[in-house]
Amino acid sequence: MSDIQDHPLRYQLANELHARPFPALTVPCHAAFLAIKQPKDAANRDRALDRAHLLNLLDRFGAQHPKPGATHYFGDLGRHKIKWESHTEFVTYTIFSQGVAARPFDPAAFDVFPEDWLQEVPGVRITSALIRVELWEGDETLVKDKMADWFVPESLACSHVLDRSAVMATDFRIDSAGHMRFALFARPEIGARRVGRIVQRMTEIEMYKTMSMLGLPRSQTLSGRMGEIDADLSELVRSLNSPGHNPEDTLHGLLGISAELENMLTEGTFRFSATGAYEAIVHQRIEVLREERFGGRQTFREFMMRRFDPAMRTVKATERRLNDMTMRATRAGELLRTQVDVSRSAQNQALLESMDRRADLQLQLQRTVEGLSVVAISYYALNLVAYMAYPVASALDLSKGMMTAILTPLVVLGVWLGLHRIRRAME
> Residues 57, 113: one domain?
yes
| Residue that wins the pLDDT comparison between 410 and 282 | 282
pLDDT at residue 43 above 90?
Answer: no
Integer angstrom CA distances of residue 257 from 239, 332, 370: 15, 11, 61
- Residue 356, in any domain of the structure: no
At 271, which amino acid appears?
R
Residue 100 lies in a domain: yes
Q: Tell me the one-letter amino acid at 372.
A: L
Whole-angstrom distance, CA of residue 52 vs CA of residue 65: 10
Higher-confidence residue of 179 and 418: namely 179
Do residue 196 and residue 48 come from a single domain? yes
Q: How does pLDDT run across 228-285, given as a tens digit for each residue?
A: 888 888 887 777 777 766 777 777 788 888 888 888 888 888 899 999 999 999 999 9
Kindly tell me if the per-residue pLDDT of 164 is higher than 90.
yes
At residue 405, the pLDDT reads 75
pLDDT for position 151: 96
Are the C-beta atoms of residues 181 and 175 closer than 8 Å to each other? yes
Instruction: Report if residue 401 sits inside a domain.
Output: yes
CA angle, 157 as apex, 153 and 162 as ends, to 5°?
145
- pLDDT above 60 for 123: yes
Model confidence at 141: pLDDT above 90: yes
Give yes or no: residues 190 and 233 share one domain: no
User: Quick one: pLDDT band at residue 369, thresholds 50, 70, 90?
Assistant: low
Distances 90 to 86, 174, 266, 283, 409 between C-alpha atoms, Å: 6, 20, 21, 20, 107
pLDDT, mean over the chain: 87
Asked if 72 and 193 sit in the same domain, the reply is yes
C-alpha span between 370 and 248 (Å, rounded): 48
Q: Are residues 122 and 195 in the same domain?
A: yes
Look up the domain containing 251 and give its range.
Answer: 215-333
Domain count, the chain: 3
Helix 215-239 to helix 247-288 angle (10° resolution) is 150
Query: Residue 202 burial by CB count (10 A; 0-12/13-18/19+): exposed, middle or buried?
Result: buried
Q: Could you tell me if 276 and 270 are in contact, meaning their C-beta atoms sit under 8 angstroms apart?
A: no
Radius of gyration of the chain (CA): 45
For the chain, give the number of residues.
Answer: 427
Share of the chain above pLDDT 70, in %: 94
For residue 357, being part of any structural domain is answered with: no
133 has a pLDDT exceeding 90: yes
Say which range, 103-117, 281-295, 312-326, 330-344, has the weakest mean pLDDT: 330-344
Cα–Cα distance, 144 to 186 (Å, whole number): 14
Q: Which residue has the higher pLDDT, 337 or 76?
A: 76
Query: For position 408, what pLDDT does the model report?
Result: 77
Please tell me which residue, 1 or 140, carries the higher pLDDT value. 140
Q: In the structure, how many helices (H) and strands (E) does the chain have?
A: 10, 9
159 Cβ neighbours under 8 A, 6+ residues apart: 167, 168, 289, 291, 292, 293, 294, 297, 299, 300
Asked whether the bond before 114 is cis by omega within 30 degrees of 0, the reply is no
Q: Are 182 and 253 contained in the same domain?
A: no
Quickly state the pLDDT bin for 40 (edges 50, 70, 90): confident
Q: Is 380 domain-assigned? A: yes
* Co-location of 383 and 264 in the same domain: no
Same domain for 248 and 329, yes or no, is yes
Judged against a pLDDT cut of 70, whether residue 372 lies above it is answered with no
Examine residue 347 and state whether it is found in any structural domain, yes or no.
no
Model confidence at 50, pLDDT cuts 50, 70, 90, reads very high
- Residue after which a domain boundary falls, among 333, 354, 386: 333
Within-domain flag for 351: no
pLDDT at 21: 78
Q: Which residues contact 304 (CB under 8 A, 6 or more apart)?
A: 209, 282, 283, 286
- Whether residue 105 sits in one domain with residue 165: yes
Residue 243 is assigned to a structural domain of this protein: yes
Last-in-domain residue among 333, 357, 384 = 333
Cβ neighbours of residue 158 closer than 8 Å, sequence gap 6 or more: 147, 167, 168, 169, 170, 294, 295, 297, 298, 299
Q: Are residues 271 and 394 in the same domain?
A: no
Q: What is the pTM of this model?
A: 0.77
My answer on whether 115 and 187 are in the same domain is yes
Residue 55 is predicted with a pLDDT of 95
In this predicted structure, the answer to whether residue 357 has a pLDDT above a threshold of 70 is: yes
With 60 as the cut, is the pLDDT of residue 1 above it? no
With residues binned 3-state (H G I as helix, E B as strand, rest as coil), the percentages for the chain, rounded to 5, are 60, 15, 25
Over residues 149-169, mean pLDDT? 95
| pLDDT (0 to 100) of residue 350 | 82
Q: Which residue, of 184, 209, 234, is where some domain finishes?
A: 209
Q: How far apart are CA 168 and CA 159, in angstroms?
A: 6
Give residue 338's pLDDT band: very low, low, confident or very high (50, 70, 90).
Answer: confident
Query: Within 13 Å of residue 210, how many CA atoms lie on the same side as its CB?
Result: 22
Using pLDDT thresholds of 50, 70 and 90, give the confidence band for residue 114. very high
Same domain, 203 and 85: yes
Among 36-40, 72-76, 272-276, 371-375, where is mean pLDDT lowest?
Answer: 371-375
Give pLDDT, residue 2.
Answer: 59
